Structure 1
């Protein structure tokens, strides 16, 4: 296993390691929100108004108004009827899984996040393409009373977007539920950061649900469930939701008031990603990406070489500690043109 690189501070584009500054191309804060000065000011406003934490139940008789305000904004952003915030993306996934795992037939895509995978579940299908073929065949040959399809939208480690077009071929004579994990798309991809929700089929026989961490592009320590008002209300009555503390309200205050910040940072990231992609175009057999701010590098030895140039990449074994490292460049909107040029020059030298 590669050595863990312990750092003592993080500016978004640089870190301190052993009191030395390194350019860093890792993490998931794609829009640089944790280091955004204007967002931090909004967060401080939220702390002044709501305090640093709120440990009560959302089903209590005294509840802050910011939750409904933020959830209405999130539903509008996604394009769903309703939305619900919780304290983590993991909890969002678990709450949705609890809605179905004891009675529905579940189709679970390879590589799904553990939050959406039943305990001890083992998939016998290795590739996404084979799995989609299997799902379509099963749905056309069996009349399940209720079937739920769980799938990722992005393989962020391989810097690939999953093809969702096959969902348009689902049968229309069954009650189906599609659950997508859009943690690496929501807030980043599509108009106003809507993510992949607009790509899901609209049909009276298909229910759509999105779960997502909000700790990636949006920079919020929480999770979201988006879907129908009926589904959201059912989840609100789940004892796990009732008994859990909610997302810190100050962050939702910052989110509601930061919409122009998010749009500006999305544009900055698009510009810096395009510039970097042009610079490394000659390396496209070794470095791959499907329109994402993440680039997979098929050369694990590069990390040690770049370390000598004070450049840190994302590189760690996956899916198990015994696996080969997955090495990636992760860009965010705090990176400058000079940063990615320095990185590109180093990659062109060694690859």
Structure 2
């Protein structure tokens, strides 16, 4: 009895305690009690979240498209109209037949091919960079570049409207992150001037995906150079649209090949394929091969995607008029939608404000045979839900006439 724990003694029967030896009493097990448990799924909270999203008009859904859509597509990022181009399709098929369906491993093991390296050399030469490194997507290219070139003990300065991939890269970098107001060069300079860290990186899109406006790259570079910072520019929406023959905004403003600038881009927009690329000094490429986890531990990009992108680059080189055609069609779409400013890129943003209004307008366009993008929070700030139209170099006169008819009707005041 003396050595029993209080709970053991309390739950023993009197006869048991009286007759058992001290060791038995000490080891006496509490009497079993029936506990009623309410079974609640650990995912039950998702029901409340979905209800809230529906109430706010922010519920998303997947829409399956057909191989050849009957509607006019003003929603995709196929800016040059190359995803169905015969040369691009043949480039993908030829790579598929030669190298197989998949790259079979990471590029450091078995996934690196002559095809990957030939494309890297060609793209670097086209945009004026010293070297290039292909990743499996534009998203992973941004993660690899920002995380590997910053890290603990450094500062990353990011524009408030940078793409989600750059936002996530900043979070993963373990650097101190300063988010500055959109295109506010003064705020970037203040952040760099007040830093205590030895190394600093400034990240920005060249063309912002939701509004289609351009970053002040020349001014940002001047600030970076004054304060010894590296500038990383995502040209996902600039390549194929801005610059001479579509070489990008960095090339247009005279920063191509600068030793303190790194360019990232995607092969899934103007080049009509899939994948991402980091371009810059050879030392950056070498460092990424050693340090970029999205490169080291990810399977290499499928050969068919590389072959298609390389073929698309060839089309762009042979047909440089496509870049200007995109801007011309974007200007026409802006006039149709009564957007005041002439677009600086393929993106035409028609702000409607309320997410339900934007959804209804997009649905009305689709019913009339025109597919448009619909951007709502959190993709864009609250109160700025919009239709996002994207111009293509391959739009015909008949397609532009249909766009005028439908958009004018849907967007006209009730």
User: Would the TM-score normalized by the shorter structure come out above 0.5?
Assistant: yes
2:137 aligned with 1:58, yes or no?
no
Which residue in 1 is equivalent to 2:160?
110
| 1:201-231 per-position Cα deviation (integer Å, ceiling 9, x unaligned) | 5898x61111112111112221100111111
2:387 aligned with 1:330, yes or no?
no
**Bigger fraction of residues in strand:** 1
Q: 1:232 aligns with which of 265, 282, 285?
A: 285
* Contact residue 110 and residue 123 of structure 1 kept, 8 A: no
Offset at residue 98 of structure 1 (A): 2.0
Determine the C-alpha separation between the residues in 1 that align with 2:226 and 2:322.
45
Which residue in 2 is equivalent to 1:46?
95
Change (3 A) 1:62 1:253: closer
2:83 aligned with 1:34, yes or no?
yes
2:174 aligned with 1:119, yes or no?
no
Determine the C-alpha separation between the residues in 2 that align with 1:111 and 1:75.
27
Moved more, 206-215 or 67-76: 206-215
Task: Say which SS state the counterpart of residue 90 (structure 2) adopts.
Answer: helix
* Contact residue 140 and residue 171 of structure 1 kept, 8 A: no
Change (3 A) 1:291 1:10: farther
Determine the C-alpha separation between the residues in 2 that align with 1:92 and 1:50.
23
Which structure: larger Rg?
2
2:346 aligned with 1:293, yes or no?
yes
Change (3 A) 1:265 1:158: farther
TM-score by length of 1: 0.84
* Contact residue 144 and residue 292 of structure 2 kept, 8 A: no
* Contact residue 288 and residue 297 of structure 1 kept, 8 A: no
| 1:124-181 per-position Cα deviation (integer Å, ceiling 9, x unaligned) | 8663144x21121233455642111011111221121222232253264543210011
Where in structure 2 are there 5+ consecutive unaligned residues? 1-56, 353-357
Determine the C-alpha separation between the residues in 2 that align with 1:334 and 1:253.
21
Which residue in 1 is equivalent to 2:142?
93
Aligned ranges 1:1-351 → 2 under 5 Å: 1=57, 4=61, 6-11=63-68, 15=69, 21-60=70-109, 63-99=112-148, 100-117=150-167, 118-119=170-171, 127-130=181-184, 132-142=185-195, 144-170=197-223, 172=225, 174-198=227-251, 199=253, 201=255, 207-238=260-291, 240=293, 241-263=295-317, 267-268=321-322, 270-271=324-325, 273-274=327-328, 277-278=331-332, 281=335, 284=338, 286=339, 288-299=341-352, 300=358, 302-319=361-378, 323-324=382-383, 325-349=385-409, 350-351=411-412
Change (3 A) 1:33 1:127: same
Q: Which has the higher contact order (CA 8 A, sep 6+)?
A: 1
* Contact residue 104 and residue 147 of structure 1 kept, 8 A: yes
Task: Say which SS state the counterpart of residue 31 (structure 1) adopts.
Answer: coil
Offset at residue 339 of structure 1 (A): 0.7
Offset at residue 27 of structure 1 (A): 1.5
Determine the C-alpha separation between the residues in 1 that align with 2:333 and 2:107.
49
Determine the C-alpha separation between the residues in 1 that align with 2:89 and 2:196.
52
Moved more, 237-246 or 298-307: 298-307
Offset at residue 67 of structure 1 (A): 1.9
Task: Say which SS state the counterpart of residue 247 (structure 1) adopts.
Answer: coil
Change (3 A) 1:345 1:270: farther
* Contact residue 49 and residue 250 of structure 1 kept, 8 A: no
Offset at residue 102 of structure 1 (A): 1.7
Change (3 A) 1:58 1:331: same
* Contact residue 107 and residue 296 of structure 2 kept, 8 A: yes
Determine the C-alpha separation between the residues in 1 that align with 2:197 and 2:284.
20
* Contact residue 159 and residue 289 of structure 1 kept, 8 A: no
Determine the C-alpha separation between the residues in 2 that align with 1:289 and 1:5.
32
**Bigger fraction of residues in helix:** 2
